[in-house]
Amino acid sequence: MNLRTVLHLVVLSSGLYAAVHGPLQASAPKDEPLRYGRIAAEGITILNLADEKGKPVAQPQKGQLVAVYKEHASGWLEVEVPGGYPVWVFGKFLAAGVEPNVYEVTGSGVNLRPEPSSDVVTNFPLPQRLQPGDKVRGIELQDPAKPLADNWVRVWSPAGVRAFVKSSVVEGLAAGEAGAALWGQALQALPAAPPARVEAVRPNEPSAAEKKQSEGQTALEAARAALENERKKDTPDYAPIRAEFEKLVTEGGSIAIEARAELRTVATLVEAAHLRADLERERLRRADEARAAQEKVWEQSKEKDPFGGVFPARGVVERRTSTDGIPRFFLRFGQDTVCELVCSSGRYDLSTFAGVEVGVHGNEIASRTGEVPTFELSKLEVLAVR
């Protein structure tokens, strides 16, 4: 039985304890209850949120008196129990009071949380907050060796602080019972000192199973991030990531279910990568075949050239862009670059002849490349369009 369970059983069976001079209250005005009622069954849990996934703040016994402050349309009630709830406050916002084990609040809007953690997603605070000058009675420190400013302190919530319970588990008072009078009697019956502290495993210390679950979740998220990065690459390697997911599957638990789903995603991505690689190989093969076929045609045309001696130069016009971004045009016959073409007169727009086999007349001028001659066009004839 852990500390939380013991405290709940001890406190809520006999009423929550208060200070010698009565329960401590927050400085803000206290709302008046709408009505009073009692817990109608055993095994009921009062939560920090109006949600069944909320964190428990109390486990009252059947018949426990509660003050109802608000009724939600969703079927939840905001309730208070005599003496308050055992909740956690960060010590940075507390100062030791004059009375033993009493703390004065020094911060504004200080949260009361069900567990010693500031995680607003999994450890949402109760609706009410503490203000400067409020006083709370301490139960224990999370770590007695730490200074107060760096520690979490478990305290009894002051009067007016509420938590949530399903409306279906709260029944009305019996005929003749006066709620306000019963509440006053419950406060008078509270013990003057806190229950004896029971040494047990602290609620914030995870079990071995919880630690394993947390480590598995961390590893799962890391593998997911690695998968997302890898799938952006041109040539992804999914093997290491698949091995990590397979390892998580062997460890079992709920993490294994998620890891199996990720393995199916990896399998789909691997198959898609293989298909892309196959398509690229086929594209290159066909390009090679087309190039070889054209070169064969050109070689054959060299052997049986009907235009031999008709043109000073002929071949297929190729457009190439130089490093300065200016397009230049060349004649290529078979695998050889025959010459560079220029048309200073503007008579021919060479870009319209790119990919076309032509014969040209003109004058050879100083080479612009130093590698092949340069022809200044005077006449161009189209021989074939490929």
User: pLDDT tens digits for 99-149?
Assistant: 888 999 999 989 999 999 888 677 889 999 999 989 999 999 999 999 999
- Of residues 293 and 65, the one with the higher pLDDT is 65
Query: Which band of pLDDT confidence, cut at 50, 70 and 90, is reported for residue 334?
Result: confident
- Quick one: which of 78, 130, 65 has its CA closest to 104? 130
Give the pLDDT of residue 151: 93
Long-range CB contacts (< 8 A, 24+ apart) of 46-51? Answer: 46/79, 46/81, 46/85, 46/163, 46/164, 46/165, 47/163, 47/164, 47/165, 48/113, 48/114, 48/123, 48/124, 48/125, 48/126, 48/163, 48/164, 49/124, 49/164, 50/74, 50/76, 50/164, 51/164
Predicted confidence (pLDDT) at residue 86 exceeds the cutoff of 80: yes
- Quick one: which of 313, 349, 350 has its CA closest to 329? 350
d(CA 189, CA 193): 12
d(CA 341, CA 335): 17
d(CA 356, CA 347): 17
Q: What average pLDDT does the segment 352-364 reach?
A: 91
Predicted confidence (pLDDT) at residue 302 exceeds the cutoff of 90: no
Helix (H) or strand (E) holding 71: strand 65-71
The overall pTM is greater than 0.75: no
Instruction: Return the structure tokens found at 368.
Output: 């612009």
Helix (H, G, I), strand (E, B) or coil at 172: strand
Residues sharing a CB contact under 8 Å with residue 60, sequence separation 6 or more, in sequence order: 8, 12, 39, 44, 46, 66, 81
List, for residues 251-290, the tens digit of each pLDDT value.
Answer: 877 788 888 889 999 999 989 888 988 998 999 999 888 8
Please compute Rg for the chain using Cα positions. 42
d(CA 258, CA 274): 25
Q: What average pLDDT does the segment 239-246 reach?
A: 91
Give the pLDDT of residue 30: 61
Give the pLDDT of residue 205: 59
